[in-house]
């Protein structure tokens, strides 16, 4: 995915993490991109390049949604929330264990 315009820099954490999860956990990636689109809509009101970027991100989101159809996480909001929360907890526990063991990653 191409880099967002400067006015959408705030979306980079969602986009980068979504890219990292794309193969490993596409449902989590979908919801990260979904959050990026939601925030991008609000940030792109005055910038044509930003609007175009958000539209392209929305197209990507629709493709992902189509490829993930049939999965319970995509049709049930409660199941989706539990899935995303478990992924966040897993990430937090990993970071916490690394910190407690004195292993720091940049």
CA distance to 25, 27, 30, 31, 33, per residue, from 84 (Å)? 10, 8, 10, 8, 13
What average pLDDT does the structure give for the chain?
Answer: 94
The Cα–Cα gap between 37 and 65 comes to 14
Average pLDDT over residues 3-12: 94
Residue 94 in this model has a pLDDT that exceeds 70: yes
Q: Helices in the chain by DSSP H: which ranges?
A: 12-21, 26-43, 48-68, 72-75, 77-100
pLDDT at site 25: 96
Q: What is the mean pLDDT of residues 71-87?
A: 96
- Band the pLDDT of 106: cuts 50, 70, 90: low
pLDDT number for residue 59: 96
Residues 85, 27 contacting (CB under 8 angstroms): no
């Amino acid at each position: 995915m191409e880099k967002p315009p400067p006015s959408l820099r705030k979306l980079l954490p969602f986009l980068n993490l979504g890219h990292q999860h794309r193969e490993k956990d596409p449902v989590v990636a979908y919801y990260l991109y979904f959050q990026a689109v939601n925030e991008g809509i609000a940030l792109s009101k005055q910038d044509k390049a930003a609007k175009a970027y958000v539209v392209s991100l929305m197209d990507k989101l629709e493709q992902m949604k189509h490829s993930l159809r049939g999965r319970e996480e995509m049709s049930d909001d409660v199941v989706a929330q539990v899935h995303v929360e478990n992924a966040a907890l897993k990430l937090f526990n990993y970071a916490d264990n690394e910190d407690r063991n004195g292993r720091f990653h940049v």
